Structure 1
Amino acid sequence: MPRSRLALAAASAAPTPAAPAAAGPRYAWLVFALTFALLLSDYMSRQVLNAVFPLLKAEWQLGDTELGALGGVVALMVGVLAIPLSLLADRWGRVRSLILMAALWSLATLGCALAGSFGQMFLARLCVGIGEAAYGSVGIAVVVSVFPRHLRASLSAAFIAGGAFGSVLGMGLGGILSAHFGWRMAFAGMAAFGLAMVACYALMISEQRLRRLQQRIGAGSEEAGSDAAMARQLAPRRIVRELLTVPSMLCACAGSALQLLVMAALLAWLPSFLARAYGMATGRAGVVAALLVLVAGAGMVACGALTDRVARHAPRRKWHMAIAYSLACCVLLMTAFRLPAGTAQLVLIGAGMLVVGGCAGPASAMVANLTRPAIHATAFATLTLINNLLGLAPGPFLTGVLADRIGLTGALQWIPLAGAAATLLFCIGRRHYAADLRRLDGQPMPHAVPA
């Protein structure tokens, strides 16, 4: 009797008792560290723009809508291209794909430093988005492939938190570099870091070593080390159909996206808000905003670890935790931006930032649990697509449009309402989760196409 897919997934994720204890885990953590470092570069290149918004606004006489477009175009390209590029990565090789992506966004960031007009900057930012399009989905697929299944929410949250930490570095260092050397040097510094990380990754990570590690932790599973070969045999149309007919997964993705809309708006506009509402200089506003984003990154990790602890023996509780995080964030931030500028407002903003990304780890764990390892990159690409089209892309742009009409503070008072919609979606997804897991366990494997 063939084993069910859930049994295969569990077997492929369980550690091997007879395997040598040192080599595997050390290399797994090296894979995580370097993949995480590239994610830092990804978000440093993406978010450095936010630190120099006031300088670009003054030099090129831009409105908030145009500034929001420069921030949103990256997420838009990520959303549009995430699935096709992840499908290619599943077939061509995830490590090679990651290296190529990182090289492209680093060179495009260098192009931002050389831009002489809004149009040139927009084109360079578009290329940054193309390079970053599939990195999150492919990177997280690499990470979860070399660790046991029960660590998925923690590792997913820690990995995704790299986006917040990268944003901290991008905004903080970008603000400091732009204050001392001009905004062009801020972009150049991010590009240099990215290219250095590309060289390290290319030297130390390979497809062959990943396969050996997957075989070691897979205890002889028939799925271990064969993800790319299996993915090449599956018809893309069947893969997409399989992913888009799971109600709980779609609810998890959409809820995560709406919560990320709030986070993206804050990442983009906190430096400008602090400059306008508190009269801070560009450098100081960038540093203070970076500290608030650091709180969001720490919150992502903490929320992911707490979710794993609470839901270890009751996976359904992941939904309860996601509901709690999104609802708390909505209440805290809507209250904060209705207070006058001062300590109380900053404390409530910080509290809201602590849980603004809390749903990321649970949502990623749900996606991983509801799909087979062979198509994890494509599954996470679906999450990335929805996150970007519903959340990361419209967040900065919608806030900019509202700011041009009702002021930036007014816009930030209404944006957290997206968290209420996220709460509703998580409630709906929770009702379908158990049935979707049973259906995944019982349905036959998709038909394969000739290799």
Structure 2
Amino acid sequence: MLMQHAEPTTGEISKVRGDVRAYAWVVFALTVGLLLSDYMSRQVLNAVFPMLKATWGLSDTQLGSLSSVVALMVGVLTFPLSVLADRWGRVKSIILMAAMWSIATLGCAISTNFGEMLIARAFVGIGEAAYGSVGIAVVLSIFPARLRATLTAAFMAGGAFGSVMGMAIGGAVAAHLGWREAFGVMAVLGLVLVVAYRMIVTEKRLAPLQTAGEGAAKPGLGMRMSFRALMKGLFSTKSIVCAYVGSGFHLLVPAALWAWMPSFLNRYYGMAPGKAALGAAVLVMATGLGMVVCGSLTDRISRNARDRKWLTAIAFCLACFTLLAIGFRMEAGPMQLALIGAGMFFSAGATGPSGAMVANLTPPSIHASAFATLTLANNLLGLAPAAILTGIVADKIGLLGALQLVPFAPLLAAIVFAIGKRNYSSDLDRVAALREEASH
């Protein structure tokens, strides 16, 4: 009975070459490198929150809007820009996007007031809008299907590590040279990676590495299908909708904590901005490590029972809720920081399982669009509202009070994942039938 409910993609494994070419790992490294730049450009802002607040007299709501506007642009534009990337070419689109967010980050460095900074940050978001979905589509297309949860988690963990680097490096540069120079350093690093990617990665060199499933799809197939057929593929089952929604809700926690931890340490632990940024970076590192570990653990646990990935997602969300709910109600001190760090370890743990669910429940020909939909849900339900909602509440009841409410988001995500698990086996059969029908 177990084989009847296995993911449709697992049968492709035997068709894929056992060896993964070194070039595939080079592409993976460069693609993750750009994701690091993406999040370094995005999160360097959080390291200089205290400086901007002092320089321009900004409220927490205004500070939160500078962070949330990036995720808002990503959420609104990720789907249309990902569809365009499928048509125009994923590699060319990646290069254009990375160049745009790097130049926009340079614009942040020369901003003279809140309005100019807000516009520059919006363009950072426009540049980053489709990168996550297009980048992961490139990575998954050149590796075996059995590694999907691990690769998805490892790729998305680049966001956490990029945030760590953005906070740590940005905080150090800002402390010694000023906040404008912190943005400038991030912009230069991004442009250097753009040049490297342009020189090394091409569609022609990627083609021989495509997996059996991806290679079987004719180029542009996902784009030539009708809008109705595309929507049917993206929202064909209850379980995939739950994967989108649950993933979005659970990412509200890391987004809120990444944005506000430097300010939390500055206000409640009396740390200077540079030291607070470094301390927050250490805690954010826990999120990145957790994403990789949780993704790998999910692949191992669900190897012979595919619906277990839903159980791991639920477990990670409940662990995050419990640890953070207790942590933020403790007195300031080492024990509080230890519990917050442990909670952050699990705060994005469902990222790998969610990505694997989406890949398994959609045809390879529309994976870029499917991950764009996942990115849309992640941003509109979690990443975009997190910072500004926390800021709005903080202006009313204080930052600590606002952070005490944040852990309830993964509790809601766990409920959504539980609903998805109930439908997963039957939905896999339905998707398999649709694929069989489409192949004839």
TM-score category (smaller protein): over 0.9
2:75 to 56, 75, 79: 79
Quick check: 240-249 or 378-387, which moved more?
240-249
Which residue identity is paired with 2:247? S
The separation in 1 between residues aligned to 2:216 and 2:188, in whole angstroms, is 34
Partner of 1:264: 255
Query: Over the residues paired in the alignment, what is the CA RMSD in angstroms?
Result: 1.8
The separation in 2 between residues aligned to 1:255 and 1:266, in whole angstroms, is 18
The separation in 2 between residues aligned to 1:229 and 1:423, in whole angstroms, is 36
User: Would you say the 8 A contact 1:234–1:446 is kept in 2?
Assistant: no
User: Would you say the 8 A contact 2:16–2:144 is kept in 1?
Assistant: no
1:123 to 119, 123, 129: 119
The separation in 2 between residues aligned to 1:297 and 1:232, in whole angstroms, is 33
Are residues 1:321 and 2:312 paired? yes
Partner of 2:241: 250
Are residues 1:339 and 2:335 paired? no
Which residue identity is paired with 1:241? K
User: Would you say the 8 A contact 2:8–2:428 is kept in 1?
Assistant: no
Partner of 2:103: 107
The separation in 2 between residues aligned to 1:432 and 1:234, in whole angstroms, is 27
Which residue identity is paired with 1:236? F
SS of structure 2 residue aligned to 1:62:
coil
User: Would you say the 8 A contact 1:247–1:429 is kept in 2?
Assistant: yes
Change (3 A) 1:414 1:201: same
Which residue identity is paired with 2:179? W
2:49 to 53, 70, 84: 53
Of all paired residues, the percent bearing the same amino acid is: 57
The separation in 1 between residues aligned to 2:342 and 2:220, in whole angstroms, is 46
Change (3 A) 1:67 1:446: farther
2:425 to 430, 434, 449: 434
The separation in 1 between residues aligned to 2:75 and 2:436, in whole angstroms, is 28
* Deviations 1:301-323, CA, capped at 9 Å, x for gaps: 00000110000111100000000
SS of structure 2 residue aligned to 1:283:
helix
The separation in 1 between residues aligned to 2:388 and 2:280, in whole angstroms, is 19
Change (3 A) 1:274 1:68: same
* Deviations 1:36-66, CA, capped at 9 Å, x for gaps: 0000000000000000000000111100000
Partner of 1:96: 92
Q: What is the TM-score of this pair, normalised by structure 2?
A: 0.96
SS of structure 1 residue aligned to 2:407:
helix
User: Would you say the 8 A contact 2:7–2:306 is kept in 1?
Assistant: no
User: Would you say the 8 A contact 1:13–1:147 is kept in 2?
Assistant: no
User: Would you say the 8 A contact 2:108–2:121 is kept in 1?
Assistant: yes
* Deviations 1:345-394, CA, capped at 9 Å, x for gaps: 01100110111110000000000000111110000000000000000000
Change (3 A) 1:96 1:134: same
User: Would you say the 8 A contact 1:83–1:385 is kept in 2?
Assistant: yes
* Deviations 1:72-116, CA, capped at 9 Å, x for gaps: 000001000111111111111111111110000000000000101
Q: What is the TM-score of this pair, normalised by structure 1?
A: 0.93
Task: Give the C-alpha shift of residue 259 in structure 1.
Answer: 1.0
The separation in 2 between residues aligned to 1:439 and 1:119, in whole angstroms, is 50
Which residue identity is paired with 2:77? L
Partner of 1:355: 346
Task: Give the C-alpha shift of residue 9 in structure 1.
Answer: 4.1
Task: Give the C-alpha shift of residue 232 in structure 1.
Answer: 3.0
The separation in 2 between residues aligned to 1:380 and 1:111, in whole angstroms, is 29
Gaps of 5+ in 2: none
User: Would you say the 8 A contact 1:45–1:187 is kept in 2?
Assistant: yes
Partner of 1:184: 180
* Deviations 1:408-438, CA, capped at 9 Å, x for gaps: 0000001111111011001000011111111
Partner of 1:167: 163
User: Would you say the 8 A contact 2:243–2:420 is kept in 1?
Assistant: yes
Which residue identity is paired with 1:90? D
Task: Give the C-alpha shift of residue 233 in structure 1.
Answer: 2.1
Which residue identity is paired with 1:36? V
Gaps of 5+ in 1: none
SS of structure 1 residue aligned to 2:71:
helix
The separation in 1 between residues aligned to 2:310 and 2:413, in whole angstroms, is 11
User: Would you say the 8 A contact 1:9–1:372 is kept in 2?
Assistant: no
The separation in 1 between residues aligned to 2:372 and 2:433, in whole angstroms, is 24
Change (3 A) 1:101 1:399: same
Are residues 1:292 and 2:260 paired? no
Which residue identity is paired with 2:201? I
Task: Give the C-alpha shift of residue 13 in structure 1.
Answer: 5.0
Which residue identity is paired with 1:85? L
Task: Give the C-alpha shift of residue 10 in structure 1.
Answer: 4.2
The separation in 1 between residues aligned to 2:8 and 2:200, in whole angstroms, is 29
Partner of 1:28: 24
Task: Give the C-alpha shift of residue 242 in structure 1.
Answer: 2.4
Partner of 1:147: 143
1:238 to 229, 241, 247: 229
Partner of 1:375: 366
* Deviations 1:98-150, CA, capped at 9 Å, x for gaps: 11100000000000001011000000000000000000000000001000011
The separation in 2 between residues aligned to 1:304 and 1:71, in whole angstroms, is 27
Which residue identity is paired with 2:429? R
Which residue identity is paired with 1:110? L
State how many pairs are aligned: 435
Task: Give the C-alpha shift of residue 252 in structure 1.
Answer: 1.2
Which residue identity is paired with 2:165? L
Change (3 A) 1:58 1:149: same
